[in-house]
Structure 1
Amino acid sequence: MIFNLPVLLTWLRIAFIPLLVFLFYLDRPWAPLAAATLFGIAGITDWADGYLARLWQQESRFGAFLDPVADKLIVAVALILLVEREANIWITLATAIIIGREIVISALREWMAESGNRSKVAVAFIGKLKTTAQIIALIFLLYNQTLLGIFPLREWGMVALAIATVLTIWSMVQYLRSAFKA
């Protein structure tokens, strides 16, 4: 197992998960901001670990495996927390679509790797857009308050979640089409 800063940043995202849950349920006025900030930091480490691994030529098979696992875990936990708090059809449906897509694409990538066609389902630009929309949506929805009394972050979070959900479906269709052509 390789230990370098990019891999440690990925492990940090996984370590953030119990802290995110704790902050989400903590009954303090500052807790929603802390949870949203923690998730935002996790989003930055998602970008930073890959960037630094490429910059410092520290890419590894282990890092390539662990990075998407960490991403999917923290996003799934944040979505599940929101479903529990909100209990509405829109967040529940978006959560089912996003988590379902991640399971389908993970299985598809494994299947394609076994058949020697892993590159056919490599991460595409639309997947990066989806991830960005998810991170923004989840930061805003975890905070769940109006910022400075004028910026309705919850509503913006719902819009970003809708965009992320559409991009999730779109990217899944693209990955499936690429895979079945192979």
Structure 2
Amino acid sequence: MNTLNSRRLPARPLALPNILTYARIAAVPVVVGLLVWQSIFSGGLWLRWVALAVFIGAGVTDFFDGYFARIWGQQSSLGRMLDPIADKLLVAASLLILAAGSTIRGWTLLAAVIILCREILVSGLREYLAELQVSVPVTRLAKWKTGAQMVAIGFLIAGEAGDRILPGVSQAGILLLWLSAVLTLYTGYDYMRAGLRYVIEE
């Protein structure tokens, strides 16, 4: 963990990286709406493919907003705030609607709960440590965890529609979700241990 420096980044609300982040946030109700239409209101399976395309597009913006911010020197306070929020909104909303539509069910609900609880725990930890002027760097493993979550959710969004083309798509999504949950537990424990160590030392 690092003490935050006093240099304040500009907001840059109209910078391309931030516009990409806005797009990722805007994709959340679109994905949810499409999945509600398909799974709850018995719409056609083609809706899952549209939802998957929107979800993949949103995931791609997660890479490019950070990439452009770095290479063009457009890091901003607004982007720093919104980027993790956009990721968590996309993951949490997708998991909840997949559970509501019974794509995620039974014991697999536990994996979704683990992921959601970890995100809440780490967000609370970050908020507390921010008041102490301490930053929580994102580890490489945490980035892999996010990637695994996105891939798992993508498979689950395809769901029944994917199974009709390639049997086992839903099962692969469930296995990847459990892998994500294991990584989530480990990285959550790692963050919590580091945070508590800092609090105790203080």
Q: Please, which of 167, 180, 185 is the counterpart of residue 169 of structure 1? A: 185
3-state DSSP of counterpart to 2:165 = coil
CA–CA separation in structure 2 for the residues paired with 1:149 and 1:66 = 37
CA–CA separation in structure 2 for the residues paired with 1:66 and 1:16 = 14
Q: Please, which of 41, 49, 58 is the counterpart of residue 33 of structure 1? A: 49
TM-score of the two chains, using structure 2 as the length reference: 0.84
1:19 paired to 2:30:
yes
* More displaced 10-residue stretch of structure 1: 143-152 or 59-68: 143-152
Residue 16 of structure 2: aligned partner = 5
Say if 1:105 and 1:152 are closer, same or farther in 2 by CA, change over 3 A.
same
Residue 133 of structure 1: aligned partner = 148
Two-structure CA RMSD over aligned residues (Å): 1.5
CA–CA separation in structure 1 for the residues paired with 2:158 and 2:91 = 15
CA–CA separation in structure 2 for the residues paired with 1:31 and 1:153 = 16
Gaps of 5+ in 2: 1-10, 38-42
1:46 paired to 2:62:
yes
8 Å Cα contact 1:33/1:143 also seen in 2? yes
Opposite residue 150 of structure 2, the aligned amino acid is I
Q: What count of residue pairs does the alignment treat as equivalent? A: 180
Q: Please, which of 108, 114, 136 is the counterpart of residue 91 of structure 1? A: 108
CA–CA separation in structure 1 for the residues paired with 2:35 and 2:63 = 23
Opposite residue 117 of structure 1, the aligned amino acid is V
CA–CA separation in structure 1 for the residues paired with 2:100 and 2:146 = 22
Say if 1:103 and 1:149 are closer, same or farther in 2 by CA, change over 3 A.
same
- Structure number with greater Rg is 2
Q: How big is the shift at 1:96? A: 1.4
Structure holding more helix per residue:
1
Residue 94 of structure 2: aligned partner = 78
Say if 1:53 and 1:151 are closer, same or farther in 2 by CA, change over 3 A.
farther
Which string of whole-angstrom CA distances, capped at 9 and with x for unpartnered residues, describes residues 38-82 of structure 1? Answer: 111111111111111011110011100000001101111000011
